[in-house]
Amino acid sequence: MEVMNILSFFTGIGLFLYGIDAMGEGLEYAAGSKMKKILGALTKNRFLAVIMGALVTALIQSSSATTVMVVGFVNAGLMNLAQAVGVIMGANIGTTVTSVLIAMDLGMIAPVALLLGVFAMLFVKKDIVKHIGQTIAGFGMLFVGMELMAYGMAPLGESEVFTYFMTNFSNPFVGVLIGVVLTAVIQSSSASIGILQALAIQGLVPIDFAVYILLGQNIGTCVTALLSAAGSKTNSKRTAVMHLLFNVIGTVIFLFITAFTPYTTWLAGLSDNVSAQISAAHIIFNVVNTIVLFPFANWIIKMACILVPDKEPEDSKLEFKFYDSHLLSTPPVAVEQIGKEVVRMAKLARDNFDRAATALINNDTSKGEKIESVEEVINFLNHGITRNLVKINALDLDYSDAKYIGRLFHVINDIERIGDHAVNLSEAAIVRSNEKLAISDEAVAELETMRKCVVELLDASISSFEKQELTIEEAKRIETLETASDNLKEKYQNAHLYRLNKEHCETRAGMMFVNTLIDFERVGDHSKNIAFAVAKKPGERVMVDEEMIKTY
């Protein structure tokens, strides 16, 4: 091969890969926040998960990227193994779209698509048109890359060594191995199948050998997910192994079909276009494999659990994993996941506050270590989430996602402060126990009433933030509870002064009582901030329910 042919081949690969990436990214951004709704539907049932897996992969043009996302979702607890296996099956079907486009031989319109796409990206201001333009430009680049690859590989037809290899080394296992290695190196099954189609177009790979390479490519695409799962939690590793099992089992089935039936002869009869034959083989493999293995999905899950057994639980801080480059390359998904992580952090802070407040009221120090360990997790999450919020904020987000990320910056600060107040209460419980400080039954009852009010406020606020919806009634209830906590603080401080004057309580215990009221009241303030970060405008007043306040 001449130098120009080699340069043409590698330039073609580069344009092909970039074209696939640009198409997927453009479609993804054009879909915007709808991507989150699509992914949210994955929790419905396994059949729907297959459909959604195929749809998402068709959009982003990479089964590897979809599987890596699934690994991340399982790692974060957003998806279980039963849902994940359905998405993986669908992802393998969705990845056939690129091979179909190549088989349609649309290369003649590639320059026009490239020109129109670039024009829209450079000269149109509307974001959605820019993203559609990016998709069209990526489509054009994909076919320009194919043309360059085909041109670069043309001299191989004159190579006696290459011709001899393809003629005499038609061993199925050699073909599978070539497919595995090629796809593992490129880390894109769509790109490696594109190369295979380009070779076939030049008449360099016959269909009866291309089928075996294709089977290997379906195994090679699992490498990316396996690498992304390394070092993650057990279920994430199982997800990657399920992807591998699915494709390995399918490969074994089709090795027998190809060896003992006229399968390749039938494929050759479908079309004179060998590229179309390869595309058909790719579709048949993934669709048939999904149909055959779908009823055995639970068996695949069990096999993955056997191959990746449970291990000793990690330190609680390590239970929370953050976002790798694959997830950050999908902004709507990264936004969705980091939002769930913030809600998880809020629930941890809520439980720790309730735990610490109850410990102080009941004069119980047995929960001290638990409160401290959860506070470490909250701090760990605070730093990790903030770091990744900065990364996500620098991405190309649509307006609603950008506003949401801005709200998260404020909310995690409120959550972290709630965690700090829980530590204050825990320390006060230890002081009360060590110094044997006596608190009157009346004061204990007052603290318990205020604790219930603040916990109710926390629950309402976190619920509204998790739904990202604050109705007028919910806003009124939250405002009422926060006003009630303020009133209770004032009321109980006055009652405390009365008891102090009557010498019904000690000065030291009284100081602790007042500080506890302040901690409770400030947790209420931070809770209200969390809820009103959803929709309330600065300075907007919400009427309180006076009758509800009287119940406290």
Residue-by-residue DSSP string for 395-445: S---HHHHHHHHHHHHHHHHHHHHHHHHHHHHHHHHHHHHTT----HHHHH
Q: What is the pLDDT of residue 20?
A: 64
Q: Are 332 and 456 found together in one domain? A: yes
Q: Are 347 and 202 found together in one domain? A: no
Sign of the C-alpha dihedral, residues 43, 45, 48, 53? positive
Last residue of a domain, one of 307, 335, 354: 307
Q: Are 179 and 280 found together in one domain? A: yes
pTM of model > 0.85: no
Q: Are 271 and 324 found together in one domain? A: no
Rounded Cα gap, residues 76 and 284, in angstroms: 33
Judge residue 208's burial from the number of C-beta atoms within 10 Å of its C-beta, 0-12 exposed, 13-18 middle, 19 or more buried: middle
Rounded Cα gap, residues 303 and 237, in angstroms: 12
For residue 336, is it within any domain? yes
Other Cβ atoms less than 10 A from the Cβ of 241: the count is 22
Residue 170, phi then psi, degrees to nearest 5: -95, 25
Range of the domain at 299: 3-307
Mean pLDDT of residues grouped by 10 in the chain (552 residues)? 71 72 63 53 68 74 66 64 82 78 67 83 80 79 70 62 58 85 75 78 81 89 73 75 91 90 89 86 91 90 87 43 55 79 92 93 87 88 86 81 88 93 91 83 90 94 90 88 90 82 71 90 93 67 65 68
Q: Are 454 and 404 found together in one domain? A: yes
Largest CA distance in the chain: 107
For residue 313, is it within any domain? no
Q: Token digits for 164? A: 């001899």
Q: Are 379 and 492 found together in one domain? A: yes
Q: Token digits for 246? A: 């699915």
For residue 104, is it within any domain? yes
Q: Are 466 and 494 found together in one domain? A: yes
Q: What is the pLDDT of residue 456?
A: 94
For residue 209, is it within any domain? yes
Local structure of residue 1 (DSSP, 8 states): -
The number of residues in the chain equals: 552
Q: What is the pLDDT of residue 334?
A: 77
Q: Are 322 and 303 found together in one domain? A: no
- Across 517-531, b (16+ Cβ under 10 Å) vs e yields bebbbbbbbbbbbbb
Q: Token digits for 233? A: 């939690």
Local structure of residue 536 (DSSP, 8 states): P
For residue 267, is it within any domain? yes
For residue 312, is it within any domain? no
The total domain count for the chain is: 2
For residue 521, give the H/E element and its range.
helix 507-532
Q: Are 336 and 271 found together in one domain? A: no
Domain CATH code at residue 378? 1.20.58.220
For residue 400, is it within any domain? yes
Q: Please say whether the beta carbons of 320 and 382 come within 8 A.
A: no
Rounded Cα gap, residues 13 and 98, in angstroms: 14
How far is C-alpha 76 from the chain's CA centre?
8
Last residue of a domain, one of 278, 307, 336: 307
For residue 411, is it within any domain? yes
Q: Are 273 and 331 found together in one domain? A: no
Last residue of a domain, one of 280, 307, 334: 307
Q: What is the pLDDT of residue 462?
A: 94
Q: Are 79 and 171 found together in one domain? A: yes
Q: Are 158 and 46 found together in one domain? A: yes
Other Cβ atoms less than 10 A from the Cβ of 373: the count is 13
